[in-house]
Structure 1
Amino acid sequence: MEMIFTGPRFSVTLLGLIRIVLLARFVNGLKERTKPEAAISVAGASTESSSIKCTLLGTPRLPAFSNDGDFIIGGISSIHYQPYTVIYNYTATPEPPRCTGSFYGRGLRFLRAMIFAIEEINNSTKLLPGIKLGYRLYDSCGSVAVAVDTAFQLSNGQDPVFYKDSNCSHTGVAMAVVGDSGSTRTISMSRIMGPFNIPQVSHFSTCACLSDKQQFPTFFRTIPSDQFQADALAKLVKHFGWTWIGAVHSDSDYGNNGIASFVQAAMREGICMEYIESFFRTDRLSKIQKVADVIRRSTAMVVVAFTAISDLKVLLEELARDPPPPRQWIGSESWVTDPLLMSFSFCAGAIGLAIPQAVIPGLRDFLLDLTPAEVAASPLLTEFWEDAFNCSLTKTTYLNKRECDGTEDIKTLKSPYTETSQLRITNMIYQAVYAIAHASHNAVCHEKNATIQCDKHIRLEPKQVFIELKKVNFSKNGYRVSFDTNGDPVAFYELVNWQKSDKGVIKLVTVGYYDASLPNGKEFYINKNLTWVEGRKEVPASVCSERCPAGTRKVLQKGKPICCYDCIPCPEGEISNTTDSPDCFPCPREYWPNAKKDACFPKPMEFLAYDEILSIILAAFSVSGACLTIIAALVFFRHRTTPIVRANNSELSFLLLFSLTLCFLCSLTFIGAPSKLSCMLRHTAFGITFVLCISCVLGKTIVVLMAFKATFPGNNVMKWFGPPQQRMTVVFLTFLQVLICTVWLVVSPPFPMENLTTYKEKIILECALGSAVGFWAVLGYIGLLAVFCFVLAVLARKLPDHFNEAKMITFSMLIFCAVWITFIPAYVSSPGKYTVAVEIFAILASSFGLILCIFAPKCFILLFLPDKNTKNYLMNKK
């Protein structure tokens, strides 16, 4: 039950009152611990009563390596990857976190390289002359808790008790810190040291989040940000044509932020993720197995790993128990150069980005210059020595280890500590130390009379180093160091490849580089052949769907990423001329796709050409008809004085034969490519010649009728339709057609055109009618005359006279009308050049009908039955 005390101006709960009492007791306790004493002895010395004793709470954390100096540089890196688990019983003061687990020689090399750089600077006469740099170097155990504890230690100093007037001063505080080698730990440290303006220069923390100066104002790094690396990895994947990949990443700030940047960059490049799995080395085994099973079951050939070394090692150990199908590993710079991971043979062929190699003169000799006494004096070196040579430096052996007998030779040792053939991250920590040294030099040194003078008694504040770090710009061993406004260096990576030698040993080979300062699309340069997974020489494929060839378009598969699609052929009249085209586009009107539908070609021009078989046949009939008509004319001319010729109105007969010759020949104007002249000529010549022909037939029919009427006594009708009237009738009827054609040609004449609508795949060259009224007026007039002639011929067909031509004219007009009546639907429905062929056929058929029906019987009598070509025979009645 909670009791509430109320008053006129405040109210508090019982629990709140208890908290206030406890807080008051805590404050009083602090006052008792810090009140002045009459005499306080520290290390045998007496102090004044006005002095104040300052005490660090907790046990100070001892550095792995330390050395005093005028200015102190802090350093932190992971040499172990597992903190010692302590169960607290809350009955005693907790001990500082300790490291345990396997020993990481590469991390030891990092710290030793830092010592080498500091000693090199201390021996320099140009950089901080006369000033000795000290150092405090710590092992973070790959633990955030240890890193935070170290950050407090570097911020407070190392002395547990110290005095300074009336204030607790920061003696032994690091003016700058190098590290850590992991982004998550670096973030935690930066949040602690940032408010005190202690600059932090990391050699291996690449999280893009650390570029945020609002959160991490004093952070710098000599290694490029993961933002650059993520863009580079995405472009690397795109460079080799991989669009279907998997990704694994550490469940840490480094992995989470790195993979987030990579996914964004990959999406911009059109790359799809089959899976994205996160894990951490301390996760349950079932979680690690789940990630391994996802990799084994996946269809993606490529796996991008944005992980820390220790995390990936756990995953690869799990995969090694049941190796997956061949996978092409793509590595971030954090692990792709690590020699320990190269022992996993199924990762051979891996490629990735790496920090450029560097040469640090004298470093290898320094690393190998370890005397037994120096090793024995350092717990960390002792552990390294015992782990490397599998012996014990103490007289008491354990775990069946032999006692070290002094024959161990570090120069013959093969370990990550002694591996200096490819110095990459080691150079980053080396350059980080020099960056701090240059900043300190600019803060405390000045040149006077060509001599550099430095004041080592000055109180160098971390804020001064921080300010000068922003301006740092120097080159050391061919490597330039400078920082942009975000504290980041210029991004430059080497492209490395895990290549298996003839002996089966995987070696790291530099095959190119990536330079972010180059124009877009030219950042990558590959100067050596790459070896892919399983020793392949060709680039493996990793796509959800095969690339759509030209002539097809992509159609996304329902419910799947954009990289999974089907390839659909382009529809009729459309093409795609690029692979993986999302759409097809139509060809211009005058063009048509080829068979593959990947290019547009000009449509073929179609017209009734002279070299076509159909044209040749029609032309042959046309010329044959003309020749036949001329032969008939010659026969009539030779027998012009005979009764049968004279009785059939020889003048109209010759005019009819002339018009039929023109009718046959005018069909030739319809063959060939249409032109402006041929289009006007073919229709007008056809209309005029056929009207002339029908006019002559009509005149002959009228003559027959008039001749029959003239046989009755007293009938003088023939004088009204004699030869002059016959000529005038033909001329008048033909003139009307000429007038119609003239109006047609003046108002809207026929013209050549390209017909793009009848056929999609070809162009028909044809003659447009211009005025459809004019065309049908011409045909209608011909039809009107033909019908009128047909009616008169029918009326005269039974006249009892051997002179009578009415029967033959009736047959010829019947054929003529039938041909042109069927011509109309055939003309309208026939496509392309066949329209012209139908028109030619109609002309030839009607022309042949006239000449065969009217002239063939007479020519037969003239040539083969001369006895019937007499006046007596013609005058006899049946």
Structure 2
Amino acid sequence: MCKSMKCRVNGPHHLHHTYPQSEDLIIGGIASHGVFVSNLIDFTEEPSPVLLDDFVVVPKYYQHILALAFAVKETNENPEILPNVTLGFHLYDSYFSARQTYHATMLLMSTLERWVWIGVLIMDNDNGERFVQTVVPLFSQSGICFALIERLPVLVSFTEFNGLLVQGAKFHDKVMDSKANVVVFYGESLSVMYLRWFPYLSEKEHGTNIPRGKVWIMTAQMELTSYICQRNWDTEIIHGALSFTIHSNELPGFKQFVESKSPSRTKGDGFLRDFWQQAFGCVFPDTAVGEVDGNICIGEEELESLPGTFFEMSMTGHSYNIYNGVYAVAHALNIMSSSRVKHSPMVDREGLKLQNLQMWQLHYFLRHVSFNNSAGDKISFDHNGELLAGFDVINWVVSSNQTFHRVKVGRVDPDGPPDQALSINEDAITWNNWFNQAWPLSVCSESCHPGTSKKVKEGEPFCCYDCIPCPKGKISDQKDMNECNKCTGEKYANSKQDLCIPKAATFLSYEEPLGLSLASFALSFSLITAFMLGMFMKHHDTPIVKSNNRDVTYTLLISLLLCFLCTLLFIGQPQKATCLLRQTAFGIIFSVAVSCVLAKTITVVLAFMATKPGSRMRKWMGKRLTNSIVVSCSLNEAGICAIWLATSPPFPDVDIHSVTEEIILECNEGSVTMFYGVLGYMGFLAIASFTVAFFARKLPDSFNEAKLITFSMLVFCSVWVSFVPSYLSSKGKYMVAVEIFSILTSSGGLLSCIFSPKYYIILLRPELNNREQLTRRKE
């Protein structure tokens, strides 16, 4: 720490790795070539100079430097580009350090080096948090969720190495034990070397170096690289990985240019010596040190013999971008120079000095530059100054001896339609051996089959879910549906709830057994009633027919006949006419029948009372009273039906909701209140008849019709009381069947209870069919 005001702040240590090549114009560049790994600096004392022994080279990245140098060389040899100006460059190493990057930037732009405008080529080193904040929401919007989001620690010093392995082992276990088979790996180019620790960690922790397979998807700035210590490490973990790479082509002459590089033939390249020693695992003799341990570098080793993780003879996408960047600057300078000459005719071209230009003046020309490079690719920039270039989708296929191949399996075309921006040849992909060349799936939960829907598990990502059966009446006809859909009103869900089936239109028809049976019963009862009516008319002069008003008896039989026949209006497809008639006809006809029963009951009571001495009831006896009862009671029901038809008449309707699998063709009653009003009035007449008959049941006549009426009305009332809940609990054609059954049963009850005893006397006991027998009192 400073103890006096005389302390001064020294600049950073001298940058050991530079590559200057001075010419008329200088392109500045910052490369990522190696990293210093040393003990932590605690700032309690002045740190000692960094030793080269602590410097670790990433051999593969040396190609980036060669790409820039090769582009500058070709530009200077081309007389059509900057004919009177030569390009140079000055490269610094960033050492994968933000501080050293800032230092190199200041050196390139400060007065310590040459008073000119430069282009800066740097690695993409955006931090992971920005990636999470920017990309994760976009992934989520596309239905992608995350099994884990982990931060991979970065090696800063050797003292942290053991701790890094411990953290790396935990990270390894989380990744390998997760259900996710796809892992997107985002990081700087150096990060791939951390990925290669996984087999080592797997062997250390679990005794095996064959970790569970994953599909690694890596970003464009990442390449398959190695530390020196990873020279002989297996690269199987990368096998089958997919990555985006900047589109590149083979450049004529690049391989020969690379092969010409060696420490014995190349001067001024401050990167080459360390690259050579660490890439080939040898040491150059040093007279200052004396004897050295290890293999001696002869300087003529073949770069082509290096493993692909150390160095590649073909140009990578990253290097290709650097190459094009140099050409873009050169073309921009050429255009700017031509523009200045064109607008300054009095100035001699040789007198025009590009060195005097300000750096900002080049920006406009750089944004509008467009040219074809030596590989034939068009290089241009968009309105934002970004390179118009797509990406290749590369499948990494690892072979023996750490050799690998980049297989192009797809293309990203930013200029294409959104639905065609990404194209992939799935059949060309080689997957990790763990997948056995089967299409890998990376899901938290298995697909939900049709008939089920997804239910997100509480507290887990949205792609982790349970599959639950669709609710009744709903279906899912595709896999992994978020919710089941309700079938339209004209369809219903099948038993598997994966298909909507059209509903069948149904009504009570004559073709089906139920309708045919009811129609047969109705006709049978009608024939029986008609036969009884004919029999009574044949014996119309007998006492049993004449008793209790013969005309009312005929009216009752006719109304019962019509009641049986009116049930036929309820069978068959509902039509406008049948819907209007069936309830009203049934109500009026039944009211006539019950009114007749009521009139007969009152007549029985009055007849008995009239036989008493001095009774005044004789004046009420006669047809006028009975006819008045029948007519008035029937007209009341007819009035209710008239109001019903005038206000809210029944009409043909379709019910698609009551029965799941059927569309019910029915008669809508129009007004439910009026429908139950008709039934209620009829019930009132029935109860009145039952009450009067009940009190007259013990009259002393040997043939007391009040007893028969009491029992018949008991049957009648029982049928219609049970009708209401049965009707309301039925649906579709069964509602109609319940009403028909009630009509037939109640009418049949009246017919059998009131007329069967009389029919029995007429046919089988004619001797009882006389006045004395019918009117004698029981002892």
1:543-582 equivalences in 2 (<5 Å): 543-548=443-448, 554-569=454-469, 571-572=471-472
One-letter code aligned to 2:190? S
Q: Tell me which amino acid in the other structure corresponds to 2:167.
A: K
The answer on whether the counterparts of 1:444 and 1:454 sit within 8 Å (CA) in structure 2 is no
Instruction: Give CA deviations for 1:575-605 in whole Å, capped at 9, x if unaligned.
Output: 6677655566766777765555566667776
SS of the counterpart of 2:183?
A: strand
Matched with 1:859 is 759
Question: Is contact 2:723–2:742 with CA below 8 Å preserved after alignment?
Answer: yes
How far does residue 328 in structure 1 lie from its aligned partner after superposition?
A: 2.2
Which of these residues, 335, 340, 348, is aligned with residue 239 of structure 2? 348
Secondary structure of the corresponding residue to residue 459 of structure 1: helix
Number of matched pairs: 748
Query: What's 2:206 paired with?
Result: none
Q: Does 1:114 align with 2:68?
A: yes
The equivalent residue for 1:532 is 431
Deviates further, 520-529 or 593-602: 593-602
Quick one: distance in 1 between partners of 2:199 and 2:376?
40
Identity %: 35
Q: Structure 1: which amino acid aligns with 2:150?
A: I
Mapped to 2, the partners of 1:133 and 1:740 lie a distance apart of 110
Residue of structure 2 in register with 1:480 after alignment: 378
Letter in 1 for 2:153: F
SS state at 1:73 partner? strand
Residue equivalent to 2:330: 437
One-letter identity of the residue aligned with 2:191: D
Q: Quote the residue 1:69 is aligned against.
A: 23
Alignment partner of 1:287 is 2:164:
yes
Matched residues in 1 for 2:318 and 2:567: separation? 92
2:714, 2:27 → 1: CA distance? 120
Residue 201 (structure 1) aligned to one of 120, 123, 126: 120
Moved more, 773-782 or 710-719: 710-719
CA deviations over 1:376-427 (Å, ceiling 9, x no partner): 8867545555555556665987434257497x55566655676344531121
Provide the secondary structure at the position in 2 that maps to 1:681.
Answer: helix
Please, which of 88, 111, 136 is the counterpart of residue 263 of structure 1?
A: 136
**8 Å contact from structure 1 (residues 497, 531) kept in 2:** yes
Paired residue for 2:391?
493
Match of 2:205 in 1: none
For 1:153 and 1:716, the matched residues in 2 are separated by 139
Equivalent of 1:516, from 407, 410, 414? 414
Question: Does the 8 Å contact 1:367/1:418 carry over to 2?
Answer: no
2: distance between equivalents of 1:76 and 1:790?
A: 112
22, 26, 32: which one aligns with 1:78: 32
In 2, Cα distance between equivalents of 1:770 and 1:381: 99
Find the partner of 1:332 among 209, 214, 219: 219
Structure 2 counterpart of 1:317: 197
Name the aligned partner's letter for residue 438 of structure 1: H
2:55 and 2:590 mapped to 1: Cα distance? 113
Counterpart of 1:507 in structure 2 is: 405
Q: Distance in 2 between matches of 1:492 and 1:615?
A: 74
| d(CA) in 2 for partners of 1:535, 1:771 | 69
| Counterpart for residue 183 of structure 2 | 303
SS in 1 for 2:200: helix
Kindly state the Cα deviation for residue 331 of structure 1 after the two structures are TM-superposed.
0.9
2:366 is matched with 469
Cα distance per residue 1:29-80 (max 9 Å; x no partner): xxxxxxxxxxxxxxxxxxxxxxxxxxx9999867654444222333342333
Give unpaired runs (5+ residues) of structure 1: 1-14, 27-55, 159-169, 176-197, 208-252
Offset at 1:348?
1.6
Q: Secondary structure at the match of 2:89?
A: strand
2:558 aligned counterpart, secondary structure:
helix
Q: Secondary structure at the match of 1:374?
A: coil
Find the aligned partners of 2:47 and 2:776 in 1 and give their Cα distance.
158
- 1:399: which partner in 2? 293
User: CA 1:690–1:600 in structure 2 vs 1: closer, same or farther (change >3 Å)?
Assistant: same
TM-score by length of 1: 0.72
Task: Kindly report which structure 2 residues correspond to 1:419-438, keeping only aligned pairs within 5 A, or say none.
Answer: 419-421=312-314, 423-438=316-331
- Maintained 8 Å contact 1:100/1:141: no
Change (3 A) 1:112 1:727: closer
SS at match of 1:512: strand
Deviations 1:346-402 (A, max 9, x none): 232211211112121111111112477415886754555555555666598743425
Partner SS for 2:149: strand
Return the alpha-carbon distance in structure 2 between the equivalents of residues 628 and 86 of structure 1. Answer: 116
Q: 1:749–1:769: 8 Å Cα contact kept in structure 2? A: yes
Q: 1:491 to 1:549 in 2, by over 3 A?
A: farther
Kept after mapping to 2: 8 A contact 1:619/1:668: yes
Q: Which amino acid aligns with 1:494?
A: D
- Structure 1 residues 682 and 501: alpha-carbon distance in aligned structure 2, compared to 1, 3 A threshold: farther
Does the 8 Å CA contact 2:199/2:237 hold for their aligned counterparts? no
For residue 569 of structure 2, what is the aligned residue in structure 1? Answer: 669
Unaligned runs of 5+ in 2: 203-208
Distance 1:818 1:746 in 2: 32
Deviation digits for residues 689-717 of structure 1 (CA, Å, limit 9, x no counterpart)? 12322344445456656766787899998
Paired residue secondary structure (2:151): strand
CA distance in 1, matches of 2:692, 2:275: 130
Partner of 2:250 in structure 1? 359
Confirm whether residue 275 of structure 1 aligns to residue 149 of structure 2. Answer: yes
In the alignment, the residues of structure 2 paired with residue 552 and residue 658 of structure 1 have an alpha-carbon distance, to the nearest angstrom, of 61
Asked if the contact 2:192–2:223 (Cα under 8 Å) also holds between the matched residues in 1, the reply is: no
Q: Once superposed, what is the RMSD of the aligned Cα atoms? A: 4.7
Give the AA of the match of 2:72.
I
CA distance in 2, matches of 1:751, 1:154: 94
1: distance between equivalents of 2:518 and 2:689?
28
Task: Report the Cα offset of residue 525 of structure 1.
Answer: 0.8
Q: How does 1:122-161 map to 2 (within 5 A)?
A: 122-144=76-98, 146-155=100-109
Structure 2 contact 29–119 (Cα < 8 Å) conserved? no
- Given that 1:63 and 1:136 are in contact with CA atoms closer than 8 Å, whether structure 2 keeps it comes out as no
CA contact (8 A) 1:392 1:403 kept: yes
For the residues of structure 2 that align with 1:813 and 1:537, how far apart are their CA atoms?
85
In the TM superposition, what whole-angstrom CA distance separates every residue of 1:98-121 from its partner, at most 9, and x where no partner exists?
686454433332222322222211
* SS of structure 2 residue aligned to 1:201: coil
Aligned partner of residue 560 in structure 2, secondary structure: helix
- 1:434 deviation in Å? 0.9
Change (3 A) 1:811 1:418: closer
- Whether contact under 8 Å (1:259, 1:306) holds in the other structure is no
The letter of the residue matching 1:627 is: L
Secondary structure, aligned partner of 2:78: coil
Give the counterpart letter for 1:335 in structure 2. M
Provide closer, same or farther for how the CA distance between residues 87 and 628 of structure 1 changes in structure 2, counting only shifts above 3 A.
closer
2:637 paired with 1:737: yes
| Distance in 1 separating the partners of 2:13 and 2:497 | 79
- CA offset at residue 511 of structure 1? 0.8
Do the aligned partners of 1:128 and 1:445 also contact (CA within 8 Å) in 2? no
Structure 2 residue 554 is the aligned partner of structure 1 residue 680: no
Aligned with 1:111: secondary structure? helix
Q: Following the alignment from structure 1 to structure 2, what is the Cα–Cα distance between the partners of residues 479 and 653?
A: 111
Change (3 A) 1:379 1:583: closer
